[in-house]
Amino acid sequence: MKKTLLAVTALAVMAFGSACGAGQDLPGDPAGEELVVVGMSQVGAESDWRVANSESMKAVFTEENGYRLLFEDARQKQENQITAIRRFIQQQVDYIVLMPISETGWDSVLQEAREAGIPVILVDRMVDVEDESLYVAHIGSDFWREGEAAVDWIAGTYPDRGTPVRIVHIQGTLGSTAQLGRTAALVEAAEAHESWELLAQLDGDFTQAKAYEVMTEYLERLPAGYEIDVVYCENDNEAFGAIQALEEGGYICGSGGVDVITFDATRNALTECMKGRISLAVECNPLLGPLVEETIQALEAGQTPERHRYAEERTFTPDQLTEAFIAGRTY
Ligand code: GYE
């Protein structure tokens, strides 16, 4: 049920000493229509995954479906996300949907949202807050499990026979749940397998440009022809940048050469995988809009939504892919 104007105003007066109205205040509301106002703070547009995730949200939270979506792109800066949340509080939105860039630093602003009586739903990544009741639900992926699928593939492809498995690791945005989970799975497995050598951990910030830059610099420091078995890229865009750097450095990507592993499995990565340049693509599903809407509908109906929801995900190797399958994917 939509909050009453009175309750919202009372809370706003308590929190800010201001008494403007609820969502209905926003310009352009069709007269008499009760739209549910959703303030959404998205990380940015750093990757194909992120773009697909934003599109999934925008497709669901439309006026025809009964929503007014206030969408803010934080351009990969936490301070922009905090500013956006404060603006949503002032605008007295009905719900705040937050895709947090990193896990820490959210306690005070989420406390402010709570004081204003606005439920916060986390999407994609998680926050690390002292009081977990500062968010009502989280909808995303189990990043550690994704990482485990990747390390299981490495273990199966490189059975321990004493020969070293040389791995270069390109990490995502440091401190983000996706980075922490995918990194932890690799680091733990590298400790457990004596033959695995983590040659380097490079910060690719989930972008193609950064991954290309750090991989190129790294290869320039290596002795010519130095053998690399696996490049573990924490998302597709990093894999594209790494492949470009590897090929420019004279490496061949694919079975028998460097095994590039990627996460997300968006269409461009699946195409590279089908061609054999990516050896393993671990799916991370960005189509979370419908799940977020179900959560909001549950809250509107006065129900308690599931606290954590994880999308179904799988892995892909070149032999499992066809053009028809890839064409049928929506992202
Ligand atoms: O893997 C990457 C994006 O948090 C799951 O962020 C998300 C990750 C995704 O930039 O492509």
Q: If you search the block for the tokens 């606290």, which residue do you land on?
A: 307
Which is more confident, 160 or 44?
Answer: 44
With 0-12 / 13-18 / 19 or more C-beta atoms within 10 angstroms meaning exposed / middle / buried, residue 314 is exposed
Collect all residues with Cβ–Cβ distance below 8 Å to 272 and sequence separation of at least 6: 239, 240, 243, 278
Residues with CB under 6 A from ligand 1: 46-47, 49-50, 124-125, 141, 176, 178, 206, 235, 263-264, 284
**Cα separations in angstroms, 120 against 27, 55, 153, 278:** 23, 20, 37, 37
Q: What does the pLDDT look like over 46-71, one tens digit per residue?
A: 999 999 999 999 999 999 999 999 99
From ligand 1's centre to the CA of 168, what distance in Å? Answer: 19
From ligand 1's centre to the CA of 235, what distance in Å? Answer: 6
Q: Which of 37, 142, 132, 57 is nearest to 99 (CA)?
A: 57
Q: At 201, phi and psi to the nearest 5?
A: -120, 115
8 pLDDT band (50/70/90 cuts)? very low
Atom of ligand 1 at shortest range from CA of 234? 1
From ligand 1's centre to the CA of 56, what distance in Å? Answer: 14
Mutate to test the pocket of ligand 1, among 73, 78, 233, 235 (most ligand atoms within 8 A of CB): 235
pLDDT exceeds 80 at position 276: yes
Determine the Cα–Cα distance for residues 122 and 301; give it in Å rounded to an integer. Answer: 19
Q: Average pLDDT of the chain?
A: 92
Backbone region of residue 308 per phi and psi (left: phi > 0; alpha: psi in -120 to 50; beta: other values) = beta
The full length of the chain comes to: 331
